[in-house]
Amino acid sequence: MTRAEKAERIGKILADLYPMPPIPLRHDDPYTLLVAVVLSAQCTDARVNVVTPRLFARARTPDAMAALAVRDIERIVRPCGLGPAKARNIRALSRILVEEHGGRVPASFEQLEALPGVGHKTASVVMVQAFGQPAFPVDTHIHRLAARWGLSSGRSVEQTERDLKKLFPPAAWGAAHLQIIYFGREHCPARGHDPAACPICAWAAPRRRPARERPKRRPPRERSARRRAAVR
């Protein structure tokens, strides 16, 4: 089975399980989504959704957020982890939005990625979920599953994004991103996973040779002795 055939079959399974996958981060507009995604770095969506209502009760626009002190933002976002850095970035990007973009979130990868604390993955989430532009955000979970299913080499997140974009049509990128996330949480966890019981891994995971068929590595001392003998 080719990668393209495998991706088509996986896409159908995901579409059947999650026909209209919801955006996991609660937000009201591009700005609140941007802030929520910044907070989600190394933090669960569930935790972010607990924190953001308190934060947006204090400031839900770039103008209001830029007027807050960093320490006030940090007190609220601390449960998300990396509080000091995230608070500085949220205030700094809010100020830039006010001063350079008229208080609006730009619908541009280049301009988004120029904001403090905003990388390519964060920009991709905002572009596809806030503006409906084709983008395929790839986080560590999607990166892991793409490699597990044989859709990408898994060499890097960047390579995985390129591979997935080739395999899925642009119109499906946004939904596929969310569908893979939900599937990973519910059916394909990183640990304690039973591939045989997984609706996708059961047939898509690349076959590995049994351990008894793999060539045995010689112990380090034996290899060293052989090298010395060869030199002599």
Asked if the structure places residue 141 within a domain, the reply is: yes
Overall domain count for the chain:
2
Shared domain check, 148 and 122: no
Q: Residue 160 is part of which domain span?
A: 3-21+136-186
To the question of pTM greater than 0.85 for the whole model, the response is yes
**CA–CA distance, 115 with 228 (Å, rounded to integer):** 57
- What pLDDT sits at residue 87? 98
Shared domain check, 59 and 119: yes
- What pLDDT sits at residue 154? 84
**CATH code at 152?**
1.10.1670.10
Which of 82, 23, 28 minimizes the C-alpha distance to 59? 28
Asked if the structure places residue 201 within a domain, the reply is: no
Asked if the structure places residue 191 within a domain, the reply is: no
Shared domain check, 103 and 156: no
Shared domain check, 159 and 109: no
Whether residue 166 lies in the annotated active site: no
- What pLDDT sits at residue 218? 54
Shared domain check, 176 and 84: no
Q: 10-39 burial by CB neighbour count: b if 16+ within 10 A, else e?
A: bbeebeeebeebeebbbbeebbbbbbbbbb
State the residue for tokens 């850095």: 85
pLDDT in tens, the chain (232 residues): 999 999 999 999 999 999 999 999 999 999 999 999 999 999 999 999 999 999 999 999 999 999 999 999 999 999 999 999 999 999 999 999 999 999 999 999 999 999 999 999 999 999 999 999 999 999 999 999 999 999 998 899 999 999 999 999 999 999 999 999 999 999 999 999 999 999 999 999 987 633 332 444 555 555 555 555 444 4
Shared domain check, 101 and 140: no
Catalytic residue among 139, 163, 194, 216: 139
**CATH code at 66?**
1.10.340.30
Whether residue 121 lies in the annotated active site: yes
**CA–CA distance, 41 with 201 (Å, rounded to integer):** 27
- What pLDDT sits at residue 211? 37
Up-side HSE of residue 177: CA atoms within 13 Å toward CB? Answer: 25
Catalytic residue among 121, 163, 194, 216: 121
Asked if the structure places residue 207 within a domain, the reply is: no
